[in-house]
Amino acid sequence: MKKYILLDWDGNLAKTLDVWIEACRAPLQKRGLNLTDEEIATCFGIPFERFTEWGIEDVDTAIGEMDALAATLLPEVALYPDAVFVLEELKKQGKKMALITTSLRDNVITLLDKYNLHGYFDVVMAYEDTVEHKPHPEPLEKALMALEGSKEEAVMIGDTGNDIVAATSAGIDSILFFPQEHSKFYKFEDLVKHMPTYTIDDFRKILAIV
């Protein structure tokens, strides 16, 4: 039984992956790089590192362009089916929840406001709140400390290898969320190599695990 639920935002609660693909593609194409969705998806959470690897010289400018475009698109993003239902059920069960994301706080707050989600989360850990970011365990450890929770009673739920690696590094169980639509961004066989504790394709299945 898990009492402390740590949840990723992008691609887990909010259907933002298409937005980030589009936002990331624009500065890359501007600089002559034409990459597949799957290739672009590898920069989720670590754009500075990937842009540098891809030979972009003005990385900070390119990331600024990406963030500016994303900011115009994110307010229209929808949530995944059953996301609110699951959050409501977890809240009813007395679970303590933290939202942990590598997105900028303003981008997340916009949608938390739009969908009235603030009441579900005891902690919101955004990009600005930590020195290190997933797959480093710092955001998870800091969130769990704020919740005054134990690692044994915690679980991290996310859609990427970064989420799973961060959980493993922190000594926390993990749930990989991989709906069919994510196959255009990630290879399932690559994600499971990170050995998540559980794997689900339907968000409601979380309730049977925790």
The answer to whether the pTM exceeds 0.95 is: no
**Which CATH code, of 3.40.1190.20, 3.40.605.10, 3.40.50.150, 3.40.50.1000, is assigned to 4-15+78-209?**
3.40.50.1000
What is the C-alpha separation between 172 and 12, in angstroms, rounded? 18
pLDDT tens sequence for the chain (210 residues): 999 999 999 999 999 999 999 999 999 999 999 999 989 998 887 899 999 999 999 999 999 999 999 999 999 999 999 999 999 999 999 999 999 999 989 989 999 999 999 999 999 999 999 999 999 999 999 999 999 999 999 999 999 999 999 999 999 999 999 999 999 899 999 999 999 999 999 999 999 999
The pLDDT value recorded for residue 44 is 86
User: What is the distance in angstroms between the CA of the first residue and the CA of the last residue of the chain?
Assistant: 5
For residue 197 the two structure tokens come to 């504790």
What is the C-alpha separation between 85 and 81, in angstroms, rounded? 8
The pLDDT value recorded for residue 45 is 78
Q: Kindly list the domain boundaries of the chain, sorted by start residue.
A: 4-15+78-209, 17-76
What is the C-alpha separation between 76 and 102, in angstroms, rounded? 19
The pLDDT value recorded for residue 130 is 96
Write down the H helix ranges in 42-104: 47-53, 59-73, 83-92
The pLDDT value recorded for residue 46 is 85
From residue 206, how far is each of 12, 83, 126, 202, 210 by CA, in Å? Answer: 12, 10, 23, 8, 6
Closest among 203, 199, 206, 204 to 176, alpha carbons compared: 199
Residue 144: partners with Cβ closer than 8 Å, 6 or more residues away: 4, 6, 98, 150, 151, 154, 170, 172
Radius of gyration of the chain (CA): 16
The pLDDT value recorded for residue 141 is 98
What are the tens digits of pLDDT across the range 86-144?
A: 999 999 999 999 999 999 899 899 999 999 999 999 999 999 999 999 999 999 999 99
Is residue 11 within 8 Å of 104, Cβ to Cβ? no
Supply φ then ψ for residue 158, to 5 degrees. -160, 175
What is the C-alpha separation between 86 and 61, in angstroms, rounded? 38
Residue corresponding to tokens 């690692």: 151
